[in-house]
Amino acid sequence: MTTLRLFTPGPLTTDERVRQAMAQDWGSRDAAFIALTAELRARLLNVSNAADTHVCVPLQGSGTFILEAAVATLIGPEHKLLVLINGAYGRRMAAIAKRLGRVVEAIEWAENEPVAPDKVQAALQDDPAITHVAVVHCETTTGLLNPLPAIAEVVQAAGLRLIVDAMASFGALPLDLATLPVAAVLASSNKCLEGPPGLGFALIERSMLEAASGRSPSLSFDLHAQWRGFEDNGQWRFTPPVQVVAGLVEALRLLEAEGGPGLRLARYQRHLDRLLQGLEPLGYRLYLSHNLQAPIIATFRPRPDLQFDFEALYDALAARGLVIYPGKLTEAETFRIGCIGALQDSDFDELVEAIGAL
Ligand SMILES: *Cc1c(COP(=O)(O)O)cnc(C)c1O
């Protein structure tokens, strides 16, 4: 069996220790699994220094499930949500709120432009009905990093609450909830945490979640009820993905052993640097300005001197066990290479060499 190396936004290459941690059974009501769940919730809070202010609510499913559950639980019919959009995931957040029948407003930027905090400030001044603001930290559509601290500052100055889709950044990019005014952070198991897919989680300010009892129109997507379940007896409300929990706990232990998010980010930055140093001289151009590109997933334009055929590129690399990702832009032909996952510098050297040899 060839081991695949996944240069994607997730699911990602996992460490062998993560896969081994999943190779057994647990009873959902067993003391050992209840302890594993408690460790999971505590470790997730510690990653962003949130133990004193926020509570952690894991939920079965992919990342979109936790986004939907959070909007259903935190935004009521009496609220108005402003979504800041510069890519597909911002659009998805607005679509979720609309589908739930919530009052939604959006400001949209081009996909190669960051959210501008002064525009957000002006919009909040113009519309006093807005109660919450939502933004994507790292927009996976392109890999663009939005200026979260500056956005959080203008939202706080307006006395409003900020909800952050940190799906592609949590565990690597700086996010200190003891100092950054963010009411709710949403992320999943299988991106920078390098765990298996199948679990999302929310870190929510305790008072905000306490006030959300009975608000969600959905039985399953109710983070208040899900939270009460954990608090009452340490167990999951419905069948837990036991192996995913075990794999993610092991992945969080490995994050700590690596030195925490700062050192993980440094490793991802080295991966991005290798991609740029290897691919730009060949004629592949980064889609974003370099200063906007987060070391999470990089979007490249094809070489102008070659006929671009994504399927052919994909197949040639996949034959060597190297898996890349298609672009997600409508206005430009691109492909994407993830910098995240349990990969090393040498994996990126091998990928660059394989692309160069095509
Ligand atoms: C991956 C991701 C999601 C969730 O996607 P799923 O496919 O549902 O896991 C949401 N937002 C961002 C920014 C993401 O990168």
Following CA atoms 119, 120, 122, 128 in sequence, which dihedral angle do they give, to the nearest 10 degrees? 160
Q: Which residues contact 56 (CB under 8 A, 6 or more apart)?
A: 40, 41, 42, 44, 45, 50, 201, 202, 203
Q: Are residues 104 and 252 in the same domain?
A: yes
pLDDT at 141 (0 to 100): 95
3-state SS class at 242: helix
E-assigned strand segments in 77-177: 80-85, 103-108, 132-136, 138-139, 144-145, 161-165
Q: Are residues 187 and 99 in the same domain?
A: yes
Ligand 1 lined by 188 (C-beta under 6 Å) = yes
Q: 335-348 b/e with 16+ CB inside 10 Å = b?
A: bbbbbbbbbeeebb
Ligand 1 lined by 136 (C-beta under 6 Å) = yes
Six-digit token string for 344: 């090393």
Q: Alpha-carbon distance 321 to 196, whole Å? A: 19
Angle at alpha carbon of residue 331, lines to 138 and 279, rounded to 5°: 65
Six-digit token string for 83: 């979504």
The strand order across the sheet containing 325-326 reads 285-286, 297-301, 335-338, 325-326
Q: Alpha-carbon distance 19 to 238, whole Å? A: 24
Ligand 1 lined by 168 (C-beta under 6 Å) = yes
Q: Are residues 196 and 71 in the same domain?
A: yes
Six-digit token string for 209: 């979640």
Q: Are residues 95 and 166 in the same domain?
A: yes
Ligand 1 lined by 8 (C-beta under 6 Å) = no
DSSP letters of 18-36?
HHHHTSS---TTSHHHHHH
Ligand 1 lined by 146 (C-beta under 6 Å) = no
Domain enclosing residue 246, as ranges: 16-257
Q: Which residues of the chain carry a pLDDT beneath 50?
A: none
Please identify, by atom number, the ligand 1 atom nearest to the C-alpha of residue 197: 9
Q: What secondary structure letter does DSSP report for 293? A: B
Q: Are residues 181 and 216 in the same domain?
A: yes
Report the CATH number at residue 94: 3.40.640.10
Report the CATH number at residue 346: 3.90.1150.10
Q: Are residues 250 and 267 in the same domain?
A: no
Please identify, by atom number, the ligand 1 atom nearest to the C-alpha of residue 64: 8
Task: From 180, 197, 179, select the one nearest 188 (Cα to Cα).
Answer: 197
Q: Which amino acid is at 119?
A: K
pLDDT at 123 (0 to 100): 98
- Residue nearest to ligand 1 atom 3, measured at CA: 63
Six-digit token string for 8: 């994607």
CA of 64 to the centre of ligand 1 (A): 6
Six-digit token string for 156: 């706080």
Mutational pocket test of ligand 1: of 6, 12, 91, 140, the residue with most ligand atoms within 8 Å of the beta carbon: 140
Q: Are 154 and 120 in contact (CB under 8 A)?
A: yes
Q: Are residues 234 and 312 in the same domain?
A: no
Q: Are residues 239 and 326 in the same domain?
A: no
Report pTM: 0.97
Please identify, by atom number, the ligand 1 atom nearest to the C-alpha of residue 136: 13
Q: Are residues 209 and 320 in the same domain?
A: no
Q: How far is CA 63 from CA 11, 58, 188, 215, 216, in A?
A: 11, 11, 5, 21, 18
Six-digit token string for 272: 């991005």
Q: Alpha-carbon distance 173 to 195, whole Å? A: 17
Strands 5-6 and 322-323: parallel
> End of a domain among 257, 287, 302?
257
> End of a domain among 204, 236, 257?
257
pLDDT at 332 (0 to 100): 81
> End of a domain among 213, 236, 257?
257
Domain total in the chain: 2
DSSP letters of 158-201?
TT-EEEEE-TTTTTTS---TTTS--SEEEEETTSTT---SSEEE
Q: Are residues 215 and 310 in the same domain?
A: no
CA of 63 to the centre of ligand 1 (A): 5
Q: Are residues 60 and 117 in the same domain?
A: yes
Ligand 1 lined by 62 (C-beta under 6 Å) = yes
Q: Are residues 130 and 251 in the same domain?
A: yes
